[in-house]
Amino acid sequence: MQCVFCDIVNKKSPTSVIFENDDFLAFSPIKQISKGHTLLISKEHTENLFDINDEALAKIAVLSKKLAAELVKKHSATGVNILHASGKDAQQSVPHFHIHLVPRYPNDGLDLWLKNKL
């Protein structure tokens, strides 16, 4: 099965790279939900939270914090959401582990928080 994120890692699909090292790649998604919205992916194909090894998960968590701080500063944001979904029923759209870094702004109209439906 072809993976769009693996194609990006292997330079088969063009993208706006924001950060890259030996293990991870951060880039701008085609559909940004806020200015500076960034996807951070593992270069090694793992489908979700349950497949990624603990060492890579720890590294990507620390990198998420670093990149989020840089995005907030660069875009003069006042906050950030860090989002992840694992599995179809959790609304994971691409079966390759990834984290959304979403800079937030005053009155940006986004509501990314869970709603209590009870």
Q: Show the domain range for 29.
A: 4-104
Q: Which candidate, 91, 102, 15, 101, places its Cα nearest to that of 48?
A: 91
Q: How many domains does the chain have?
A: 1
Q: What is the set of active-site residues?
A: 98
**pLDDT band at residue 66 using 50, 70 and 90 as cut-offs:** very high
Where residue 17 sits, what CATH number does that domain have? 3.30.428.10
Sheet holding 24-27, edge to edge: 17-20, 24-27, 38-42, 98-104, 79-83
The reply to whether 8 falls in a domain is yes
The reply to whether 115 falls in a domain is no
The reply to whether 110 falls in a domain is no
Across residues 84-103, what is the average pLDDT?
Answer: 94
Residue 116 has pLDDT above 70, yes or no: no
CA distance 43 to 37: 19
Query: How far, CA to CA in Å, does 63 sit from each of 9, 10, 21, 90, 101?
Result: 17, 21, 11, 23, 11
Tell me what pLDDT residue 12 has.
Answer: 93
Tell me what pLDDT residue 118 has.
Answer: 56
The reply to whether 16 falls in a domain is yes
